[in-house]
Each structure stands twice: as structure tokens, then as C-alpha cells.
């Protein structure tokens, strides 16, 4: 590391240069600490004789992947995951676009209380109170129903989604719709043909955000879906661990990798496409 | 008005419904099976009276508090801010690598992150291998130090969120202000305490609130790593509610614990909304 290292500060005194080197070193150590636990996952998935120890496999093999690559263990749970998270994301985006439109475009008396209520709902630890949710589902006869679980997942992400969607919609200029209204388009037509196409990047952020959350959720399907044929990968992987976890570490790791890849790809898509800070600003800005 | 209907209906049935049901259910003797499962009876404050006499409850409350303070407020928040600050000084390549490493733990599905943390802290796991390489014999972390293990695991998993919030916030701090302070002779620590932190205090408040509430409801990580044990040594409130309801079959009692969690969450939310006072709603 020489003095040519570009730092953000223009006045590069020797002290600043030392500080920059120190910052680099500390960050590299932090990165190693964060990656170390993940090394096991990758190495074990490629090792037929994997244990809980992190070790370089004697020979790299895809046998673990081949072993879990069957409908019973992998495809059906992954399909159920897709159904649950895709369904929840579609329902959430539709409901939040429809709700955000009047909230963003018309100054109504209940806008403020409604948005406060939504903000309040964002904070409630709903996914921590699965016990009353379970007994409510028993009472409504909705237990072990995939559609009901989709609606529950959608409802829990809806407050955050409405909040984000409204912020994105506020930045679409209203003058374009006014032109459409003058031409005789109804409000719903203007929303469908003008506003939604303009906020496509924002909506895909909301969609992917909800999808990733639902895909990774374990507790909700664990409590609400009982029959193994309906359970998503998160739950089936947990039962697999309970049954064979003590012997088939390699297969457990391989299954975990297969199950994680889709959300990692989606995350890369979002962060490449629009930048992490953009995603955050939609969610956080008051 | 009409476009609001689907959202309002979803929220009413699946968000408000469980909240109301939680209050109602905590006054009944609903059970997982048997006659009280078919026809729960109203038992008044019985569940709460049992709860306040239960020695596990104060322990569980305390463990939840320790878990939130140590892993979220100290771990994720301070580490996230630290990484974001260091990134401003480090080279772009190093920043990108660290960013990816930290985010990787966060993007993984929670059950996978929980398995990875379990393997890492298990008796002959990676952590003890590292310690052995340094000539030390590590303990059985999950058994001897269950709280420390879940606190570290949750910090590992969640720091990415704080890091991203603070990266975005620090980008909005104008360079001129910090440079002016530098010319006036303020050193790094002074600039941080008097300029940077006051300028991002809204982001700090928002971040603290969100990670506190997220950490309050962590279930999967603890369930897979220690299942609340050994004994009750790592039984936080979500674990306690789950155990009472599904292991001991007392839905009414589990619901009372869930109601306590709801009230804690609601209290935090109110403080948060007041502090933030969104002007542009």
C-alpha cells in the first residue's frame, strides 16, 4: 500500500494515509470473520464425508447434490416455497399499489391516521406471535391451507410495502396523469397505463423484498402448514435435519445451498439494478 | 376509497385479527388437544396470574432484554456503524469485499443461517478448530455459553442491515462540513462525535428501532441452535411462548406470553413514531 492509494479526503497527510491502511486491515479481518462460518456450508456440500468440521474435501464431488436431487426431498418443497413467496409477493404488490394510489394522490382526512396505523403495524412483532395466529387459524378452519398462509404472509409484509410504494409513487409527477384525465381516462386507467409503468423499478424492489422475506421465512409455515406435501423448503430442510442431520451433513449443506441460491440471485439483481442505498431510501425515508 | 379495500381487508383479517385474538385468547384455557381444544372456557386473568408466578417468566424477560441489547443495540448497531465509517476510508475494492461478506450472512434464509451458526459453534465446529489452531481448547459453546453463542450468531446475521442504513446515511453527510471541521483542527474522534453522529441521528433512531423489533421476534436462530436450552438458559420470550403452546399444549398460556410481547412491541413502536414524527405522511 503506497501513498498513491486514493482516499476520500483531499488533504492526504501521512497520518491520514496510516489511517487508511489501518481501515483496510480492520475491514479485511471483519470480512474474514463474517465469511468463516459460511466456508463450512460450501465445503461440506462438496464433501461426501462431511462433518461439522470445516475441512478441505479429499476429493470434490457433487454426490451430495445428486443425493438430494429428487422430487420428494428438493423439487416439491422448492415448488411450495415458490408458490408461497410468489403468491405473497403478487398479492402484496397488487394490494399496496391499489392502496398507495389514493393515499398518494388525494388529500383525504384519514390519510394521516391511516399511514400512522400502517407505520405502527410495520413495528408489531406479528411473526413472533404465531401462537394466537395458530389458534385463530384453527378457529377459522384455515390451518394447513396454502392460500391462507399466502394471505397471512402478504398481510405481514403489507405495512412495509404500502409505506415503500407510497414513497415511490409520490415521486411520479402527477402532471402526466392530469393529461390523461383531461383526455377522459378514469383514475384506474391512469394508474394502470401511466403510473404503474413509470414506477416499475420501485415495484420490482417491493416485489423482490417481499419474495425474499417469504422465501426465507421458517416460523410461519412451520406453524401453519402441517402436511409434508404442502411444506416449503424451509420446513422440509428442518425435518430433514431432525431425521438425518446427525449423519448426512453433506446432504444437509447441499440442500441448504440449493435452497439459498434463488434469493442470493434475486438480491444481486436488486442491488446491481438499483443500488442498495436506493432500496433503503424507499423504505426508510419518513 | 374503493382501491383501499383489498389492503384494508387483508390487514383487518390477518394482522388486526391475530392481535385481537391474542388478547381474547389469553383469557381462555384453550389447549392444543382434548376438551379445552374444542371448547375453550373463559378463565379471566388466570393465565396472567400463572405467568407472574412462573419463575421462567422473569428469567425469559431478562434473557430477551440481554439478547436485544447485546446482539442488536451493541452488536449489529455499533458494528454496522463502525464498518460503514471504515468503508469511507478504505479502498473501494476492500469496501466491496467487506460489503459482500457482511450481506451474505443476511441474505441467506434464516433456517440456513441457523444451521451454519449451529455448525460453527458446535463442539467440534469451526470456531473450536480455529481456537485449536491457536493452541487453545474451546468449550462446547452451545452448551456452556448458549446466550453468548446466539448473541454472536444474531450479530453476524443482522449487521448487514445496520451497515446499509449507515452507508446510505453517511453518503448524505456533505464532505464540506467534515472538511471545515478538519481545517479547524478537529481530530477524527471529535469529528465523529460532534459532526457525523449528530447529522445522522435520525437514521440511528430508525435503525435502532427496527433492529430492536426484529431481534425481539427472533425465533428460528435460537430454536435451531439451542432450542432455549440447556434448561431454560437461552429461553427468550418467543421460545417460551412456543414451548408452552406446542410442547406443553397450553395454547391459552402461550397466547398470554405472546400478548406480553405484543405490548412490548407496541410500546416500542409508539416511542419510535413519536420520535420520528413523519411530517410528510
3-state SS assignment for residue A107: coil
* A29 within some domain: yes
- How many CB atoms within 10 Å of residue A8? 13
Q: How many Å apart are CA A279 and CA B162, to the nearest integer? A: 14
Instruction: Considering only residues B88 and B59, tell me which one the structure prediction assigns the higher pLDDT.
Output: B59
Q: Are residues A26 and A87 in the same domain?
A: no
Note which residues in 53-82 of chain B have CB less than 8 A from chain A: 79
pLDDT over 60 at A147, yes or no: yes
Place of cell 454496522: B80
pLDDT over 70 at A279, yes or no: no
Lowest mean pLDDT among A73-82, B192-201, B223-232: B192-201
Q: Are residues A209 and A237 in the same domain?
A: yes
Confidence of residue A13 (pLDDT cuts 50, 70, 90): low
What are the angstrom distances between the C-alpha of B269 and each of A40, A119, B219, B276? 38, 8, 20, 10
Q: Which residues contact A34 (CB under 8 A, 6 or more apart)?
A: B98, B101, B102, B104, B105, B156, B159
Q: Are residues A54 and A167 in the same domain?
A: no
Kindly list the residues from chain A whose CB atom is less than 8 angstroms away from the CB atom of residue B227. Answer: none
Contact between residue A125 and residue B216 where contact means Cβ atoms under 8 Å apart? yes
Please name the member of B87, B107, B117 whose beta carbon is closest to the beta carbon of A37. B117
Q: Are residues A133 and A95 in the same domain?
A: yes
Q: Are residues A82 and A168 in the same domain?
A: yes
ipTM score: 0.84
Q: Are residues A100 and A220 in the same domain?
A: yes
B229 — phi, psi (to 5°)? -100, -170
pLDDT over 80 at A149, yes or no: yes
Kindly list the residues from chain A whose CB atom is less than 8 angstroms away from the CB atom of residue B112. Answer: 41, 237, 256, 259-260
* A189 within some domain: yes
What are the angstrom distances between the C-alpha of A156 and each of A149, A152, A153, B276? 11, 6, 5, 22
| Average pLDDT of the residues of chain A | 81
CA nearest neighbour of A166 among A208, A109, A126, A112: A112
pLDDT reported for residue A3? 40
Q: Which residues pair with B28 in a beta bridge?
A: B42
* A131 within some domain: yes
Q: How many Å apart are CA B98 and CA B78, to the nearest integer? A: 16
Most confident of A15-24, A196-205, B111-120: B111-120
pLDDT over 50 at A4, yes or no: no
- Sign of the C-alpha dihedral, residues A191, A193, A194, A198? positive
* A1 within some domain: no
pLDDT reported for residue A285? 42
Q: Are residues A44 and A74 in the same domain?
A: no
Lowest mean pLDDT among A277-286, B20-29, B200-209: A277-286
- Asked if the C-beta of A8 comes within 8 angstroms of chain B's C-beta atoms, the answer is yes
- Asked if the C-beta of A218 comes within 8 angstroms of chain B's C-beta atoms, the answer is yes
Query: pLDDT tens digits for B234-253?
Result: 999 999 999 888 888 888 88
Q: Do B7 and A151 touch (CB under 8 A)?
A: no
Task: Write down the H helix ranges in B54-145.
Answer: 56-67, 77-89, 92-107, 110-121, 126-133, 141-144
B28 — phi, psi (to 5°)? -120, 170
pLDDT reported for residue A252? 86
Contact between residue B19 and residue A134 where contact means Cβ atoms under 8 Å apart? no
Q: How many Å apart are CA B90 and CA A5, to the nearest integer? A: 9
CATH number of domain containing A241: 1.10.3720.10
Cell of A209: 423484498
Cell of B176: 464540506
Q: Do B115 and A241 touch (CB under 8 A)?
A: yes
Q: Are residues A114 and A239 in the same domain?
A: yes
Determine the CATH number of domain B56-276.
Answer: 1.10.3720.10
Q: Do A259 and B112 touch (CB under 8 A)?
A: yes
**Residue B140 CB burial class (10 angstroms; 0-12, 13-18, ≥19):** middle
- Asked if the C-beta of A137 comes within 8 angstroms of chain B's C-beta atoms, the answer is no
- Asked if the C-beta of A164 comes within 8 angstroms of chain B's C-beta atoms, the answer is no
- Asked if the C-beta of B86 comes within 8 angstroms of chain A's C-beta atoms, the answer is yes
Kindly list the residues from chain A whose CB atom is less than 8 angstroms away from the CB atom of residue B81. Answer: none
Q: Are residues A185 and A252 in the same domain?
A: yes
DSSP labels, B5-21: HHHHHHHIIIIIHHHHH
Kindly list the residues from chain A whose CB atom is less than 8 angstroms away from the CB atom of residue B116. Answer: 37-38, 40-41, 256
Q: CA of B172, closest CA in chain A: separation in Å?
A: 11
Average confidence (pLDDT) over A81-89: 94
Kindly list the residues from chain B whose CB atom is less than 8 angstroms away from the CB atom of residue A52. Answer: 119, 122-125
| Average pLDDT of the residues of chain B | 86
Average confidence (pLDDT) over A144-158: 92
pLDDT over 50 at A282, yes or no: no
Q: How many Å apart are CA A37 and CA A83, to the nearest integer? A: 30
- Asked if the C-beta of A274 comes within 8 angstroms of chain B's C-beta atoms, the answer is no
Structural domains of chain A, count: 2
Give the chain A residue nearest B239 (alpha carbons): A128
Q: Which residue, A22, A42, A63, sits at the end of a domain?
A: A63
Range of the domain at A177: 68-284
* A204 within some domain: yes
Q: Which residues contact B116 (CB under 8 A, 6 or more apart)?
A: A37, A38, A40, A41, A256, B108
Q: Are residues A47 and A146 in the same domain?
A: no
Q: Are residues A30 and A129 in the same domain?
A: no
Q: Are residues A190 and A53 in the same domain?
A: no
Domain boundaries, chain B: 56-276
pLDDT over 90 at B64, yes or no: yes
Report how far apart the first and last C-alpha atoms of chain A are (Å, whole number).
Answer: 42
- Asked if the C-beta of B21 comes within 8 angstroms of chain A's C-beta atoms, the answer is yes
**pTM of the entire structure?**
0.85
pLDDT reported for residue A244? 66
Count interface pairs A-B at CB distance under 8 A: 297
Amino acid at each position: 500500500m503506497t501513498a498513491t492509494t486514493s482516499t476520500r479526503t483531499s488533504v492526504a497527510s501521512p497520518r491520514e494515509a496510516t489511517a487508511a491502511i489501518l481501515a483496510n486491515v480492520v475491514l479485511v479481518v471483519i470480512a474474514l470473520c463474517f465469511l468463516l462460518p459460511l466456508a463450512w456450508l460450501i465445503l461440506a456440500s462438496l464433501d461426501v464425508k462431511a462433518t461439522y468440521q470445516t475441512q478441505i474435501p479429499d476429493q470434490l464431488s457433487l454426490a451430495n447434490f445428486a443425493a438430494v436431487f429428487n422430487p420428494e426431498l428438493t423439487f416439491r418443497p422448492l415448488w411450495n416455497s415458490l408458490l408461497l413467496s410468489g403468491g405473497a409477493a403478487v398479492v402484496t404488490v397488487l394490494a399496496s399499489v391499489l392502496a398507495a394510489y389514493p393515499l398518494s394522490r388525494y388529500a383525504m382526512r384519514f390519510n394521516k391516521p391511516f399511514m400512522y396505523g400502517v407505520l405502527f403495524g410495520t413495528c408489531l412483532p406479528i411473526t413472533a406471535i404465531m401462537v394466537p395466529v395458530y389458534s385463530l387459524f384453527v378457529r377459522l378452519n384455515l390451518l394447513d391451507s396454502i392460500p391462507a398462509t399466502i394471505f397471512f404472509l402478504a398481510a405481514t409484509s403489507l405495512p412495509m410495502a404500502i409505506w415503500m410504494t407510497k414513497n415511490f409513487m409520490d415521486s411520479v409527477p402527477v402532471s402526466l396523469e392530469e393529461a390523461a384525465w383531461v383526455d377522459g381516462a378514469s383514475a384506474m386507467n391512469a394508474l394502470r397505463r401511466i403510473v404503474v409503468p413509470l414506477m416499475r423499478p420501485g415495484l420490482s424492489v417491493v416485489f423482490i423484498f417481499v419474495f425474499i422475506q417469504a422465501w426465507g421465512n421458517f416460523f410461519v409455515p412451520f406453524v401453519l402448514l402441517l402436511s409434508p406435501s404442502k411444506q416449503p423448503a424451509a420446513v422440509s430442510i428442518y425435518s430433514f435435519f431432525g431425521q438425518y442431520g446427525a449423519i448426512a451433513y453433506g446432504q444437509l449443506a447441499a440442500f441448504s445451498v440449493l435452497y439459498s441460491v434463488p434469493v442470493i440471485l434475486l438480491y444481486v439483481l436488486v442491488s446491481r439494478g438499483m443500488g442498495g442505498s436506493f432500496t433503503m431510501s424507499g423504505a426508510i425515508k419518513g | 376509497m374503493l382501491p383501499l379495500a383489498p389492503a384494508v381487508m387483508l390487514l383487518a383479517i390477518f394482522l388486526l385479527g391475530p392481535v385481537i385474538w391474542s388478547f381474547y385468547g389469553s383469557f381462555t384455557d384453550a389447549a392444543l388437544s382434548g376438551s379445552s381444544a374444542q371448547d375453550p372456557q373463559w378463565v379471566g386473568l388466570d393465565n396472567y396470574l400463572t405467568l407472574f408466578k412462573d419463575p421462567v417468566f422473569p428469567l425469559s424477560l431478562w434473557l430477551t432484554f440481554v439478547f436485544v441489547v447485546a446482539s442488536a443495540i451493541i452488536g449489529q448497531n455499533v458494528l454496522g456503524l463502525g464498518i460503514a465509517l471504515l468503508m469511507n476510508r478504505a479502498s473501494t475494492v476492500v469496501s466491496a469485499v467487506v460489503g459482500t461478506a457482511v450481506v451474505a450472512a443476511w441474505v441467506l434464509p434464516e433456517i440456513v443461517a441457523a444451521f451454519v451458526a449451529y455448525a460453527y459453534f458446535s463442539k467440534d465446529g469451526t470456531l473450536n478448530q480455529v481456537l485449536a489452531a491457536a493452541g487453545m481448547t474451546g468449550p462446547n459453546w452451545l452448551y456452556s455459553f448458549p446466550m453468548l453463542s446466539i448473541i454472536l450468531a444474531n450479530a453476524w446475521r443482522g449487521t448487514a442491515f445496520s451497515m446499509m442504513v449507515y452507508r446510505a446515511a453517511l453518503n448524505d453527510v456533505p464532505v464540506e462540513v467534515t472538511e471545515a471541521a478538519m481545517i479547524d483542527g478537529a481530530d477524527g474522534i471529535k469529528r465523529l462525535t460532534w459532526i457525523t453522529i449528530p447529522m445522522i441521528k435520525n437514521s440511528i433512531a430508525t435503525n435502532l428501532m427496527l433492529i430492536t423489533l426484529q431481534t425481539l421476534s427472533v425465533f428460528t436462530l435460537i430454536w435451531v441452535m439451542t432450542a432455549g436450552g440447556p434448561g431454560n438458559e437461552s429461553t427468550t420470550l418467543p421460545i417460551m411462548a412456543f414451548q408452552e403452546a406446542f410442547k406443553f399444549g397450553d395454547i391459552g398460556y402461550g397466547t398470554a406470553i405472546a400478548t406480553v410481547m405484543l405490548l412490548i412491541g407496541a410500546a416500542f413502536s409508539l416511542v419510535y413514531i413519536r420520535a420520528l414524527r413523519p411530517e410528510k405522511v
